[in-house]
Chains A and B, each alone.
Chain A
Amino acid sequence: MKILVPVKRVVDYNVKVRVKSDQSGVDIANVKMSMNPFDEIAVEEAVRLKEKGVATEIVAVSCGVQACQETLRTAMAIGADRGILVQTDVELQPLAVAKLLAALAAREQPGLVILGKQAIDDDANQTGQMLAALLDRPQATFASKLEVADGKAKVTREVDGGLETIAISLPAVVTTDLRLNEPRYVTLPNIMKAKKKQLDVVKPEDLGVDVTPRLKTLKVSEPPGRKAGVKVPDVATLVAKLKNEAKVI
Protein backbone atom coordinates (compact mmCIF):
# COMPACT_ATOMS: atom_id res chain seq x y z
CA MET A 1 0.00 0.00 0.00
CA LYS A 2 1.16 3.46 -0.89
CA ILE A 3 0.74 6.37 1.55
CA LEU A 4 0.54 9.98 0.46
CA VAL A 5 1.66 12.49 3.10
CA PRO A 6 1.00 16.18 2.40
CA VAL A 7 3.36 18.49 4.32
CA LYS A 8 3.11 22.25 4.71
CA ARG A 9 5.91 24.77 5.17
CA VAL A 10 4.88 27.16 7.94
CA VAL A 11 6.38 29.72 10.29
CA ASP A 12 8.13 27.76 13.05
CA TYR A 13 5.93 27.20 16.09
CA ASN A 14 8.39 29.04 18.35
CA VAL A 15 8.12 32.27 16.37
CA LYS A 16 5.69 34.89 17.60
CA VAL A 17 4.59 36.62 14.40
CA ARG A 18 4.06 40.36 14.12
CA VAL A 19 1.31 42.06 12.24
CA LYS A 20 2.61 44.41 9.52
CA SER A 21 1.96 48.08 10.20
CA ASP A 22 0.00 48.47 6.95
CA GLN A 23 -2.30 45.59 8.06
CA SER A 24 -1.61 43.68 4.84
CA GLY A 25 -0.59 40.53 6.69
CA VAL A 26 1.97 39.21 9.14
CA ASP A 27 5.67 39.82 8.72
CA ILE A 28 7.29 36.53 7.76
CA ALA A 29 10.43 37.93 6.15
CA ASN A 30 13.54 36.37 7.73
CA VAL A 31 11.66 34.22 10.23
CA LYS A 32 12.42 30.55 10.73
CA MET A 33 10.24 28.22 8.66
CA SER A 34 9.57 24.59 9.53
CA MET A 35 7.31 21.71 8.69
CA ASN A 36 3.85 22.08 10.23
CA PRO A 37 4.14 20.03 13.48
CA PHE A 38 0.97 18.03 12.77
CA ASP A 39 2.36 17.06 9.36
CA GLU A 40 5.56 15.87 11.00
CA ILE A 41 3.40 13.53 13.09
CA ALA A 42 1.76 12.39 9.83
CA VAL A 43 5.12 11.56 8.22
CA GLU A 44 6.21 9.70 11.35
CA GLU A 45 3.01 7.64 11.37
CA ALA A 46 3.47 6.72 7.70
CA VAL A 47 7.07 5.69 8.34
CA ARG A 48 5.96 3.52 11.27
CA LEU A 49 3.38 1.83 9.04
CA LYS A 50 6.13 1.12 6.53
CA GLU A 51 8.38 -0.27 9.25
CA LYS A 52 5.53 -2.57 10.30
CA GLY A 53 5.24 -3.80 6.72
CA VAL A 54 1.79 -2.28 6.23
CA ALA A 55 2.93 0.41 3.78
CA THR A 56 5.25 -0.15 0.83
CA GLU A 57 5.95 3.39 -0.32
CA ILE A 58 5.59 6.86 1.21
CA VAL A 59 5.19 9.84 -1.07
CA ALA A 60 5.50 13.30 0.53
CA VAL A 61 3.75 16.19 -1.21
CA SER A 62 4.05 19.89 -0.59
CA CYS A 63 2.22 22.72 -2.33
CA GLY A 64 3.69 26.20 -2.53
CA VAL A 65 6.86 28.11 -3.29
CA GLN A 66 10.16 26.60 -4.34
CA ALA A 67 11.47 26.66 -0.76
CA CYS A 68 8.91 23.96 0.14
CA GLN A 69 11.55 21.60 -1.28
CA GLU A 70 13.29 21.94 2.10
CA THR A 71 10.14 20.72 3.83
CA LEU A 72 10.00 17.76 1.46
CA ARG A 73 13.67 16.96 2.19
CA THR A 74 12.81 16.93 5.91
CA ALA A 75 9.95 14.51 5.22
CA MET A 76 12.33 12.31 3.25
CA ALA A 77 14.89 12.48 6.06
CA ILE A 78 12.24 11.17 8.46
CA GLY A 79 11.63 8.33 6.00
CA ALA A 80 9.44 9.30 3.04
CA ASP A 81 10.66 7.58 -0.14
CA ARG A 82 10.15 10.40 -2.60
CA GLY A 83 8.69 13.87 -2.86
CA ILE A 84 6.44 15.88 -5.13
CA LEU A 85 6.34 19.66 -5.08
CA VAL A 86 3.34 21.37 -6.62
CA GLN A 87 5.10 24.64 -7.23
CA THR A 88 3.32 27.98 -7.36
CA ASP A 89 3.83 31.46 -5.99
CA VAL A 90 0.08 32.00 -5.69
CA GLU A 91 -1.23 32.16 -2.10
CA LEU A 92 -2.80 28.74 -1.58
CA GLN A 93 -5.99 28.32 0.41
CA PRO A 94 -7.19 24.97 1.83
CA LEU A 95 -9.75 24.31 -0.95
CA ALA A 96 -7.08 24.80 -3.63
CA VAL A 97 -4.65 22.53 -1.78
CA ALA A 98 -7.35 19.87 -1.40
CA LYS A 99 -7.98 20.01 -5.17
CA LEU A 100 -4.25 19.68 -5.94
CA LEU A 101 -3.99 16.73 -3.57
CA ALA A 102 -7.09 15.11 -5.06
CA ALA A 103 -5.52 15.38 -8.54
CA LEU A 104 -2.29 13.84 -7.26
CA ALA A 105 -4.19 11.09 -5.44
CA ALA A 106 -5.87 10.22 -8.74
CA ARG A 107 -2.40 9.77 -10.26
CA GLU A 108 -0.70 8.02 -7.36
CA GLN A 109 -3.65 5.93 -6.09
CA PRO A 110 -2.59 5.83 -2.41
CA GLY A 111 -4.36 3.51 0.03
CA LEU A 112 -4.09 6.16 2.70
CA VAL A 113 -3.52 9.88 2.83
CA ILE A 114 -2.25 11.01 6.24
CA LEU A 115 -1.93 14.72 7.00
CA GLY A 116 -1.99 17.15 9.90
CA LYS A 117 -5.37 18.15 11.31
CA GLN A 118 -4.52 21.81 10.95
CA ALA A 119 -1.67 24.08 9.92
CA ILE A 120 -0.43 26.35 12.68
CA ASP A 121 -0.38 29.42 10.42
CA ASP A 122 -3.94 29.77 9.09
CA ASP A 123 -5.39 27.42 11.75
CA ALA A 124 -8.05 26.42 9.19
CA ASN A 125 -8.47 22.69 9.91
CA GLN A 126 -10.04 21.96 6.51
CA THR A 127 -7.70 20.36 3.99
CA GLY A 128 -8.01 16.69 5.01
CA GLN A 129 -11.79 16.76 5.24
CA MET A 130 -12.07 18.61 1.92
CA LEU A 131 -9.75 16.11 0.23
CA ALA A 132 -11.81 13.20 1.54
CA ALA A 133 -14.99 14.82 0.20
CA LEU A 134 -13.47 15.57 -3.23
CA LEU A 135 -12.29 11.95 -3.49
CA ASP A 136 -15.60 10.62 -2.11
CA ARG A 137 -13.61 8.73 0.50
CA PRO A 138 -14.18 8.25 4.22
CA GLN A 139 -12.22 10.28 6.74
CA ALA A 140 -10.94 9.91 10.27
CA THR A 141 -9.88 13.26 11.68
CA PHE A 142 -7.95 14.14 14.86
CA ALA A 143 -6.43 10.64 15.12
CA SER A 144 -4.65 9.61 18.31
CA LYS A 145 -4.34 5.93 17.33
CA LEU A 146 -4.28 4.24 13.94
CA GLU A 147 -4.36 0.54 13.11
CA VAL A 148 -4.49 -0.71 9.53
CA ALA A 149 -5.57 -4.25 8.64
CA ASP A 150 -7.72 -6.07 6.05
CA GLY A 151 -8.43 -3.04 3.89
CA LYS A 152 -9.65 -1.04 6.86
CA ALA A 153 -8.29 1.48 9.28
CA LYS A 154 -9.40 1.51 12.89
CA VAL A 155 -8.88 5.01 14.18
CA THR A 156 -9.24 6.47 17.67
CA ARG A 157 -10.16 10.13 17.45
CA GLU A 158 -9.80 12.96 19.96
CA VAL A 159 -13.27 14.46 20.29
CA ASP A 160 -14.89 16.87 22.75
CA GLY A 161 -15.33 15.04 26.02
CA GLY A 162 -13.03 12.12 25.29
CA LEU A 163 -12.18 9.59 22.60
CA GLU A 164 -14.14 7.92 19.82
CA THR A 165 -13.15 4.96 17.68
CA ILE A 166 -14.35 4.45 14.13
CA ALA A 167 -13.52 2.01 11.34
CA ILE A 168 -13.12 3.30 7.79
CA SER A 169 -12.59 1.36 4.59
CA LEU A 170 -9.53 2.17 2.52
CA PRO A 171 -8.68 4.21 0.54
CA ALA A 172 -9.25 6.90 3.13
CA VAL A 173 -7.95 10.14 4.59
CA VAL A 174 -6.64 10.40 8.17
CA THR A 175 -5.70 13.63 9.93
CA THR A 176 -3.37 13.59 12.91
CA ASP A 177 -3.73 14.94 16.41
CA LEU A 178 -0.89 15.59 18.83
CA ARG A 179 -0.95 12.33 20.72
CA LEU A 180 -0.70 10.01 17.69
CA ASN A 181 3.07 9.67 18.05
CA GLU A 182 6.24 11.51 18.88
CA PRO A 183 8.23 12.15 15.70
CA ARG A 184 11.79 10.87 15.70
CA TYR A 185 14.80 13.13 15.56
CA VAL A 186 16.22 13.43 12.11
CA THR A 187 19.80 12.15 11.96
CA LEU A 188 22.57 13.58 9.81
CA PRO A 189 23.05 10.39 7.74
CA ASN A 190 19.34 10.42 6.97
CA ILE A 191 19.48 14.08 5.97
CA MET A 192 22.32 13.20 3.58
CA LYS A 193 20.36 10.23 2.21
CA ALA A 194 17.27 12.40 1.74
CA LYS A 195 19.21 14.71 -0.58
CA LYS A 196 19.57 11.87 -3.07
CA LYS A 197 15.91 10.85 -3.05
CA GLN A 198 13.66 11.63 -6.01
CA LEU A 199 11.86 14.98 -5.93
CA ASP A 200 9.51 15.84 -8.80
CA VAL A 201 8.16 19.30 -9.46
CA VAL A 202 4.77 19.86 -11.09
CA LYS A 203 2.65 22.95 -11.64
CA PRO A 204 -1.02 23.38 -10.72
CA GLU A 205 -1.74 23.72 -14.47
CA ASP A 206 -0.25 20.26 -15.07
CA LEU A 207 -2.87 18.92 -12.66
CA GLY A 208 -5.64 20.98 -14.22
CA VAL A 209 -6.39 22.85 -10.99
CA ASP A 210 -7.30 26.52 -10.70
CA VAL A 211 -5.70 27.70 -7.47
CA THR A 212 -6.90 31.31 -7.53
CA PRO A 213 -7.63 32.37 -3.91
CA ARG A 214 -11.35 32.44 -3.14
CA LEU A 215 -11.23 34.30 0.13
CA LYS A 216 -9.92 37.83 0.03
CA THR A 217 -8.03 39.02 3.10
CA LEU A 218 -9.11 42.63 3.59
CA LYS A 219 -6.83 43.27 6.54
CA VAL A 220 -4.85 41.61 9.28
CA SER A 221 -4.85 43.36 12.62
CA GLU A 222 -3.47 42.97 16.11
CA PRO A 223 -5.73 41.10 18.50
CA PRO A 224 -7.14 43.16 21.36
CA GLY A 225 -4.29 43.56 23.78
CA ARG A 226 -4.22 42.25 27.29
CA LYS A 227 -2.02 43.96 29.83
CA ALA A 228 -0.38 42.35 32.79
CA GLY A 229 -2.30 43.09 35.96
CA VAL A 230 -0.94 43.11 39.47
CA LYS A 231 1.01 40.66 41.57
CA VAL A 232 -0.64 39.83 44.85
CA PRO A 233 1.47 39.02 47.91
CA ASP A 234 -0.58 36.13 49.28
CA VAL A 235 -3.63 33.90 48.89
CA ALA A 236 -5.79 36.00 51.22
CA THR A 237 -5.24 39.12 49.09
CA LEU A 238 -5.98 37.13 45.94
CA VAL A 239 -9.32 35.92 47.28
CA ALA A 240 -10.22 39.41 48.53
CA LYS A 241 -9.46 40.91 45.10
CA LEU A 242 -11.48 38.26 43.27
CA LYS A 243 -14.42 38.88 45.59
CA ASN A 244 -14.39 42.65 45.93
CA GLU A 245 -12.55 44.02 42.90
CA ALA A 246 -13.14 41.56 40.03
CA LYS A 247 -16.39 40.25 41.57
CA VAL A 248 -16.04 36.89 39.84
CA ILE A 249 -16.45 34.66 42.89
Chain B
Amino acid sequence: MAALVLAEHDNATLKPSTLNAIAAAAKAGGEVTVLVAGSGCAAVAQAAAQAAGVTKVLLADAPQLADQLAENVAAQALAVAKGYTHILAPATAHGKNVAPRIAAKLDAAQISDIVGVESADTFTRPIYAGNAIATVQSADPVKVITVRTTGFDPVAATGGSAPIENVAAVADAGTSSFVGREIARSDRPELTAAKIVVSGGRGMGSAENFHLLEPLADKLGAALGASRAAVDAGYAPNDWQVGQTGKIVAPQLYVAIGISGAIQHLAGMKDSKVIVAINKDEEAPIFGVADYGLVADLFTAVPELVKELG
Protein backbone atom coordinates (compact mmCIF):
# COMPACT_ATOMS: atom_id res chain seq x y z
CA MET B 1 0.00 0.00 0.00
CA ALA B 2 1.11 3.51 -0.78
CA ALA B 3 -0.61 6.88 -0.58
CA LEU B 4 -0.18 9.99 -2.69
CA VAL B 5 -1.16 13.31 -1.08
CA LEU B 6 -1.76 16.43 -3.17
CA ALA B 7 -0.07 19.35 -1.44
CA GLU B 8 -2.08 22.53 -1.01
CA HIS B 9 0.09 25.61 -1.41
CA ASP B 10 0.49 29.03 -3.01
CA ASN B 11 3.94 28.31 -4.54
CA ALA B 12 5.56 29.91 -1.50
CA THR B 13 4.21 28.11 1.56
CA LEU B 14 2.70 24.71 2.28
CA LYS B 15 -0.86 25.11 3.61
CA PRO B 16 -1.48 23.45 7.00
CA SER B 17 -4.46 21.49 5.57
CA THR B 18 -1.88 19.32 3.79
CA LEU B 19 -0.65 18.11 7.19
CA ASN B 20 -4.15 16.90 8.11
CA ALA B 21 -4.39 15.06 4.79
CA ILE B 22 -0.99 13.43 5.42
CA ALA B 23 -2.29 12.21 8.80
CA ALA B 24 -5.31 10.60 7.13
CA ALA B 25 -3.09 9.12 4.42
CA ALA B 26 -0.79 7.50 6.96
CA LYS B 27 -3.81 5.86 8.60
CA ALA B 28 -5.28 4.65 5.31
CA GLY B 29 -2.50 3.84 2.97
CA GLY B 30 0.87 3.18 4.59
CA GLU B 31 3.82 5.00 3.01
CA VAL B 32 3.05 8.61 2.15
CA THR B 33 4.32 10.47 -0.91
CA VAL B 34 3.46 14.15 -1.31
CA LEU B 35 3.02 15.69 -4.76
CA VAL B 36 3.89 19.37 -5.00
CA ALA B 37 2.68 20.70 -8.36
CA GLY B 38 3.30 24.37 -8.93
CA SER B 39 5.71 26.93 -10.29
CA GLY B 40 8.79 28.15 -8.44
CA CYS B 41 7.62 26.07 -5.52
CA ALA B 42 10.87 24.43 -4.32
CA ALA B 43 10.33 25.92 -0.85
CA VAL B 44 6.98 24.14 -0.64
CA ALA B 45 8.62 20.82 -1.54
CA GLN B 46 11.19 21.41 1.19
CA ALA B 47 8.46 22.10 3.73
CA ALA B 48 6.60 18.95 2.65
CA ALA B 49 9.82 16.92 3.00
CA GLN B 50 10.04 17.98 6.64
CA ALA B 51 6.51 16.92 7.53
CA ALA B 52 6.43 13.93 9.84
CA GLY B 53 5.68 10.59 8.21
CA VAL B 54 6.41 11.63 4.63
CA THR B 55 8.52 9.10 2.71
CA LYS B 56 9.05 10.99 -0.52
CA VAL B 57 8.18 14.29 -2.17
CA LEU B 58 7.52 14.59 -5.89
CA LEU B 59 8.10 18.05 -7.30
CA ALA B 60 6.56 19.12 -10.61
CA ASP B 61 7.66 22.67 -11.26
CA ALA B 62 6.43 24.45 -14.39
CA PRO B 63 4.67 27.71 -15.34
CA GLN B 64 1.47 25.90 -16.42
CA LEU B 65 1.08 24.65 -12.85
CA ALA B 66 1.44 28.09 -11.26
CA ASP B 67 -2.24 28.89 -10.83
CA GLN B 68 -3.43 25.44 -9.76
CA LEU B 69 -5.86 25.09 -12.67
CA ALA B 70 -7.83 21.88 -12.14
CA GLU B 71 -7.18 20.48 -15.63
CA ASN B 72 -3.39 20.70 -15.30
CA VAL B 73 -3.06 19.70 -11.65
CA ALA B 74 -5.33 16.67 -12.13
CA ALA B 75 -3.32 15.62 -15.19
CA GLN B 76 -0.11 15.99 -13.17
CA ALA B 77 -1.45 13.76 -10.42
CA LEU B 78 -2.58 11.18 -12.97
CA ALA B 79 0.87 11.23 -14.58
CA VAL B 80 2.45 10.04 -11.32
CA ALA B 81 -0.50 8.05 -9.94
CA LYS B 82 0.67 4.59 -10.98
CA GLY B 83 1.39 2.30 -8.05
CA TYR B 84 -0.53 4.24 -5.42
CA THR B 85 -3.47 2.60 -3.67
CA HIS B 86 -4.75 5.86 -2.17
CA ILE B 87 -4.81 9.40 -3.56
CA LEU B 88 -5.80 12.05 -1.05
CA ALA B 89 -6.31 15.80 -1.00
CA PRO B 90 -7.54 18.11 1.76
CA ALA B 91 -11.27 18.90 1.35
CA THR B 92 -10.56 22.56 0.68
CA ALA B 93 -11.82 24.58 -2.30
CA HIS B 94 -8.73 23.42 -4.22
CA GLY B 95 -8.89 19.76 -3.19
CA LYS B 96 -12.60 19.57 -3.97
CA ASN B 97 -11.94 21.15 -7.37
CA VAL B 98 -9.22 18.74 -8.44
CA ALA B 99 -9.80 15.33 -6.79
CA PRO B 100 -13.01 14.30 -8.63
CA ARG B 101 -11.27 14.85 -11.98
CA ILE B 102 -8.59 12.38 -10.90
CA ALA B 103 -11.19 9.91 -9.61
CA ALA B 104 -13.23 10.00 -12.83
CA LYS B 105 -10.16 9.38 -14.97
CA LEU B 106 -9.24 6.39 -12.80
CA ASP B 107 -12.86 5.17 -12.90
CA ALA B 108 -12.91 5.33 -9.10
CA ALA B 109 -15.82 6.44 -6.92
CA GLN B 110 -14.44 9.27 -4.81
CA ILE B 111 -14.96 9.27 -1.07
CA SER B 112 -15.50 12.92 -0.15
CA ASP B 113 -14.81 14.71 3.09
CA ILE B 114 -13.79 11.74 5.24
CA VAL B 115 -13.65 12.28 9.01
CA GLY B 116 -12.39 8.82 9.93
CA VAL B 117 -10.42 5.85 8.60
CA GLU B 118 -11.80 2.46 9.68
CA SER B 119 -9.47 0.42 7.49
CA ALA B 120 -7.64 0.72 4.17
CA ASP B 121 -10.93 0.55 2.26
CA THR B 122 -13.52 1.77 4.79
CA PHE B 123 -14.09 5.36 5.80
CA THR B 124 -16.60 7.53 7.66
CA ARG B 125 -18.01 10.71 6.22
CA PRO B 126 -20.80 13.10 7.18
CA ILE B 127 -23.93 13.31 5.01
CA TYR B 128 -27.05 15.49 5.21
CA ALA B 129 -25.18 18.47 6.63
CA GLY B 130 -23.60 16.30 9.29
CA ASN B 131 -26.94 15.01 10.59
CA ALA B 132 -25.77 11.47 9.82
CA ILE B 133 -22.42 9.75 9.54
CA ALA B 134 -22.06 7.15 6.77
CA THR B 135 -19.53 4.33 6.92
CA VAL B 136 -18.62 3.49 3.33
CA GLN B 137 -16.48 0.78 1.80
CA SER B 138 -14.75 1.15 -1.55
CA ALA B 139 -14.06 -1.79 -3.85
CA ASP B 140 -12.02 0.31 -6.30
CA PRO B 141 -8.33 -0.59 -6.71
CA VAL B 142 -7.46 3.08 -6.08
CA LYS B 143 -9.22 5.06 -3.40
CA VAL B 144 -9.56 8.74 -4.23
CA ILE B 145 -10.34 10.69 -1.09
CA THR B 146 -10.81 14.22 0.16
CA VAL B 147 -10.05 14.75 3.83
CA ARG B 148 -12.05 16.97 6.16
CA THR B 149 -9.24 18.68 8.02
CA THR B 150 -11.14 18.90 11.31
CA GLY B 151 -11.37 15.10 11.36
CA PHE B 152 -7.63 14.49 11.66
CA ASP B 153 -4.97 16.08 13.84
CA PRO B 154 -2.16 17.40 11.63
CA VAL B 155 1.19 15.61 11.55
CA ALA B 156 4.14 17.61 12.85
CA ALA B 157 5.38 20.17 10.31
CA THR B 158 9.01 19.41 11.09
CA GLY B 159 11.17 16.46 12.00
CA GLY B 160 11.03 14.58 8.70
CA SER B 161 13.69 14.55 6.00
CA ALA B 162 12.16 12.91 2.94
CA PRO B 163 14.01 12.99 -0.38
CA ILE B 164 12.67 15.32 -3.08
CA GLU B 165 12.39 13.87 -6.57
CA ASN B 166 11.81 16.07 -9.59
CA VAL B 167 9.19 14.78 -12.01
CA ALA B 168 8.40 15.93 -15.54
CA ALA B 169 5.57 18.44 -15.67
CA VAL B 170 2.57 17.69 -17.87
CA ALA B 171 1.83 19.94 -20.84
CA ASP B 172 -0.68 22.76 -20.48
CA ALA B 173 -4.21 21.51 -21.29
CA GLY B 174 -4.73 24.87 -22.97
CA THR B 175 -8.46 25.04 -22.27
CA SER B 176 -8.43 27.24 -19.19
CA SER B 177 -6.46 30.25 -18.08
CA PHE B 178 -6.03 32.26 -14.93
CA VAL B 179 -7.39 35.82 -15.00
CA GLY B 180 -7.10 37.24 -11.50
CA ARG B 181 -7.47 36.79 -7.81
CA GLU B 182 -8.94 38.86 -5.00
CA ILE B 183 -7.62 37.37 -1.82
CA ALA B 184 -8.26 39.37 1.31
CA ARG B 185 -5.10 40.21 3.23
CA SER B 186 -5.52 39.84 6.93
CA ASP B 187 -3.31 39.63 9.99
CA ARG B 188 -5.84 37.37 11.65
CA PRO B 189 -5.39 33.60 11.70
CA GLU B 190 -6.87 31.56 8.88
CA LEU B 191 -10.50 30.63 9.59
CA THR B 192 -10.09 26.86 9.26
CA ALA B 193 -6.87 26.75 11.31
CA ALA B 194 -7.72 29.28 14.05
CA LYS B 195 -7.90 28.21 17.70
CA ILE B 196 -10.65 30.75 18.36
CA VAL B 197 -13.35 31.86 15.90
CA VAL B 198 -15.72 34.80 16.38
CA SER B 199 -18.69 34.58 14.01
CA GLY B 200 -21.51 37.01 13.32
CA GLY B 201 -24.96 36.34 11.94
CA ARG B 202 -27.94 38.20 10.57
CA GLY B 203 -28.42 39.71 14.03
CA MET B 204 -25.43 41.97 13.33
CA GLY B 205 -27.81 44.01 11.19
CA SER B 206 -25.35 45.56 8.73
CA ALA B 207 -21.86 45.40 7.28
CA GLU B 208 -20.89 48.44 9.42
CA ASN B 209 -22.03 46.70 12.59
CA PHE B 210 -19.86 43.71 11.69
CA HIS B 211 -16.83 45.85 12.57
CA LEU B 212 -18.05 45.58 16.16
CA LEU B 213 -16.60 42.07 16.17
CA GLU B 214 -13.08 43.19 15.25
CA PRO B 215 -11.97 44.42 18.71
CA LEU B 216 -13.27 41.15 20.17
CA ALA B 217 -11.41 39.07 17.58
CA ASP B 218 -8.28 41.16 18.23
CA LYS B 219 -8.53 40.56 21.98
CA LEU B 220 -8.94 36.83 21.52
CA GLY B 221 -6.50 36.44 18.62
CA ALA B 222 -9.45 34.96 16.75
CA ALA B 223 -10.41 34.49 13.11
CA LEU B 224 -13.65 36.09 11.93
CA GLY B 225 -16.49 34.04 10.49
CA ALA B 226 -20.09 34.53 9.49
CA SER B 227 -23.32 32.65 8.96
CA ARG B 228 -24.72 32.17 5.48
CA ALA B 229 -27.52 34.64 6.26
CA ALA B 230 -24.94 37.32 7.07
CA VAL B 231 -22.95 36.61 3.91
CA ASP B 232 -26.06 36.55 1.73
CA ALA B 233 -27.11 39.90 3.21
CA GLY B 234 -23.72 41.34 2.25
CA TYR B 235 -22.59 41.92 5.85
CA ALA B 236 -19.46 39.77 5.46
CA PRO B 237 -17.32 38.43 2.59
CA ASN B 238 -18.19 35.01 1.14
CA ASP B 239 -14.99 33.34 2.30
CA TRP B 240 -16.03 33.93 5.90
CA GLN B 241 -19.01 31.62 5.59
CA VAL B 242 -19.08 28.78 8.10
CA GLY B 243 -21.50 25.95 7.36
CA GLN B 244 -22.47 22.92 5.30
CA THR B 245 -21.50 24.55 2.02
CA GLY B 246 -18.95 26.98 3.38
CA LYS B 247 -16.02 26.31 5.69
CA ILE B 248 -15.96 23.59 8.30
CA VAL B 249 -14.25 24.70 11.51
CA ALA B 250 -13.54 23.03 14.84
CA PRO B 251 -11.66 25.54 16.98
CA GLN B 252 -11.09 25.35 20.73
CA LEU B 253 -13.58 28.18 21.14
CA TYR B 254 -16.37 29.26 18.78
CA VAL B 255 -18.23 32.44 19.64
CA ALA B 256 -21.53 32.76 17.75
CA ILE B 257 -22.92 36.27 17.88
CA GLY B 258 -26.37 37.09 16.54
CA ILE B 259 -26.51 33.68 14.87
CA SER B 260 -29.79 31.78 15.16
CA GLY B 261 -28.23 28.36 14.46
CA ALA B 262 -29.71 26.99 11.23
CA ILE B 263 -28.93 23.30 10.54
CA GLN B 264 -26.56 24.21 7.76
CA HIS B 265 -24.60 26.57 10.02
CA LEU B 266 -24.35 24.01 12.84
CA ALA B 267 -22.93 21.58 10.26
CA GLY B 268 -19.90 23.83 9.95
CA MET B 269 -19.07 24.40 13.62
CA LYS B 270 -20.65 21.84 15.93
CA ASP B 271 -17.38 19.96 16.40
CA SER B 272 -15.85 22.99 18.10
CA LYS B 273 -14.57 22.19 21.59
CA VAL B 274 -16.42 24.99 23.36
CA ILE B 275 -19.30 26.96 21.85
CA VAL B 276 -20.50 30.31 23.17
CA ALA B 277 -23.70 31.86 21.86
CA ILE B 278 -24.85 35.43 22.34
CA ASN B 279 -28.35 36.07 21.04
CA LYS B 280 -31.28 38.13 22.23
CA ASP B 281 -33.75 35.41 21.23
CA GLU B 282 -33.69 32.83 24.01
CA GLU B 283 -35.47 30.33 21.74
CA ALA B 284 -32.70 30.44 19.11
CA PRO B 285 -31.57 26.89 18.16
CA ILE B 286 -27.92 27.90 18.63
CA PHE B 287 -28.49 27.62 22.40
CA GLY B 288 -29.20 23.91 21.86
CA VAL B 289 -25.54 23.29 21.03
CA ALA B 290 -23.88 26.07 23.03
CA ASP B 291 -21.87 25.23 26.14
CA TYR B 292 -22.41 28.77 27.38
CA GLY B 293 -25.37 30.83 26.27
CA LEU B 294 -25.94 34.47 26.99
CA VAL B 295 -29.37 35.89 26.22
CA ALA B 296 -28.53 39.52 25.59
CA ASP B 297 -28.49 42.32 23.06
CA LEU B 298 -25.23 41.82 21.22
CA PHE B 299 -24.74 45.55 20.79
CA THR B 300 -24.25 45.94 24.53
CA ALA B 301 -22.85 42.46 25.27
CA VAL B 302 -19.99 42.54 22.72
CA PRO B 303 -18.41 45.84 23.86
CA GLU B 304 -18.87 44.67 27.44
CA LEU B 305 -17.13 41.41 26.60
CA VAL B 306 -14.19 43.28 25.05
CA LYS B 307 -13.90 45.38 28.21
CA GLU B 308 -14.16 42.37 30.52
CA LEU B 309 -11.36 40.61 28.62
CA GLY B 310 -9.15 43.57 29.51
Contact = CB atoms under 8 A, between A and B. Distances in A.
Interface of A: 11, 13, 16-17, 19, 26, 38, 93-95, 98, 117-118, 120-134, 137-142, 144, 154, 157-169, 172, 177-179, 213-223, 226, 228-232, 234-236, 238-239, 241-242, 246, 248-249
Nearest to A28: B128
What are the 10 tightest A-B residue pairs by CB atom distance, in nearest-first order? A129-B100, A229-B291, A214-B109, A130-B104, A138-B175, A133-B104, A133-B101, A162-B183, A126-B100, A165-B179
A178 B226 CA distance: 14
Interface in B84-133: 92-94, 96-105, 107-113, 122, 126-133
B274 A248 contact: yes
B228 interface: yes
Contacts of A140: 176
Name B's interface SS. mixed
20 contacts: A26-B132, A94-B109, A123-B244, A124-B113, A129-B101, A131-B104, A144-B238, A160-B92, A163-B183, A178-B228, A214-B140, A216-B137, A217-B134, A218-B122, A220-B135, A226-B275, A229-B275, A238-B294, A248-B274, A249-B253
B154 interface: no
Contacts of B190: 161
Given A11-B128, A94-B110, A132-B101, A231 B293 contact: yes
Interface SS of chain A = mixed
Contact of A154 (B128, B179, B309): B179
A236 B238 contact: no
B104 A98 contact: yes
A223 B110 contact: no
A226 B131 contact: no
Interface in B215-248: 220, 228, 231-232, 237-239, 244-245, 247
B139 A214 contact: yes
Interface stretch (B55-63, B156-164, B300-308): B300-308
Given A137-B175, A248-B252, A231 B294 contact: yes
Interface of B: 67, 69-71, 74, 92-94, 96-105, 107-113, 122, 126-140, 173, 175-184, 190, 192, 196, 220, 228, 231-232, 237-239, 244-245, 247, 252-253, 263-264, 270, 273-276, 282, 287-296, 301, 304-305, 308-309
Nearest to A165: B179
Given A141-B97, A242-B276, A249 B309 contact: yes
B104 A168 contact: no
Nearest to A168: B176
A165 B180 contact: yes
Contacts of B177: 166-168
Contacts of A168: 175-177
A217 B135 contact: yes
